Amino acid sequence: MAFFAIALLAGTGFGLAQPPTSQIIARVSEQFEALQDYVVTLSAQIEVPNFRMPCKEVIVWYKKPDKFKFKSSGFLLMPKFRFLPGSSSFLSDSLDVRLVRTQQDDGITYYVVVAKPKPWVQQKNSPDLEIFVNSQRWTVDRIVIKSADIGMSEIRNVYFRLGDFWLPETTRVVFEMRGSIPAHETPDFNRFFVAPEYLKNNRGELLRGRMLITFANYRLNIGLSDEFFKEKNRE
């Protein structure tokens, strides 16, 4: 994989002065090597036309390598894409990752890495990821997700320093998806316990929305046990 990435970068002619992709991946992952577990409180606000969800709080517990547990006071929509610290699914083995360019933004150099699902895991309309890695602190500051099926989404992270770690303080998600929510005045009351027909067959129009996720009350390396994650998620 690393050899392939280096060879590809060498072949494109602009990767010589830049670290190889594998090194970028390694440096991003190193950020969280000493982070064994944590608990954090997220609050999420979502803005979608004709959709209303109150601001929600959810407590997230994480333990290496990929154990998550959520506790929410009610129903919550969360981006499918793993944006939580410690999670690195966008750089997992199932992705082909390669550095495509560097970019200057506010005096910071970003390594722009493209990740695509490997052919044997690729499904129809699998999204392509463009990941902007901050070269100064090796954090993922921006991710652009492109999918023929669900449109384009963009995630922007703002970090703060806590001990040895750069941790997300806010995550802003701008997304597109297929299927708008019509603002029908009168619901369909003919049938009980089913969604109105107009919501079931609305795959055509493109819907744009925004989500703001704020992180608070981090507690790091608190010694969470595996058994804690075996309990049913308290939702």
Q: Name which of residues 173 to 192 contact other proteins (CB under 8 A).
A: 175, 177-189, 192
Task: Tell me which of 28, 35, 207, 220 binds other proteins, using CB under 8 A.
Answer: 207
Question: Rule CB under 8 A: is residue 131 a binding residue for other proteins?
Answer: no
Distance CA 151, CA 206 (A): 8
Return the number of the residue (15 or 168) whose C-beta is nearest other proteins: 168
We find the least distance from the C-beta atom of residue 150 to other proteins, in angstroms, to be 4
Kindly give the pairing relationship between strand 140-147 and strand 37-47.
unpaired
Distance CA 229, CA 129 (A): 29
Q: Provide the angle, in degrees to the nearest 10, between the axes of the packed helices 21-30 and 2-12.
A: 130
In this chain, which stretch among 19-27, 92-100, 161-169, 194-202 interacts with other proteins, using CB under 8 A?
194-202
Task: Tell me which of 51, 89, 136, 163 binds other proteins, using CB under 8 A.
Answer: 51
Distance CA 60, CA 232 (A): 14
Count Cβ atoms within 10 A of the Cβ of residue 113 and give its class: 0-12 exposed, 13-18 middle, 19 or more buried. buried
For the chain, give the longest Cα–Cα distance: 66
Distance CA 111, CA 102 (A): 5
HSE toward the beta carbon, residue 201, CA cutoff 13 A = 3
We find the least distance from the C-beta atom of residue 179 to other proteins, in angstroms, to be 3
Question: Rule CB under 8 A: is residue 58 a binding residue for other proteins?
Answer: yes
Tell me if 172 sits within 8 A of 212, measured CB to CB: yes
Return the number of the residue (3 or 193) whose C-beta is nearest other proteins: 193
We find the least distance from the C-beta atom of residue 143 to other proteins, in angstroms, to be 13
Question: Rule CB under 8 A: is residue 75 a binding residue for other proteins?
Answer: yes
Site mask for other proteins (CB under 8 A), range 135-174, x = bound:
------------x-xx--x---------------------
Task: Tell me which of 29, 30, 34, 80 binds other proteins, using CB under 8 A.
Answer: 80
Residue 8's closest CA among 100, 85, 83, 70?
100
| Residue ranges in contact with other proteins by CB under 8 A | 49-54, 58, 70, 72-81, 147, 149-150, 153, 175, 177-189, 192-196, 199-200, 202-203, 207, 235
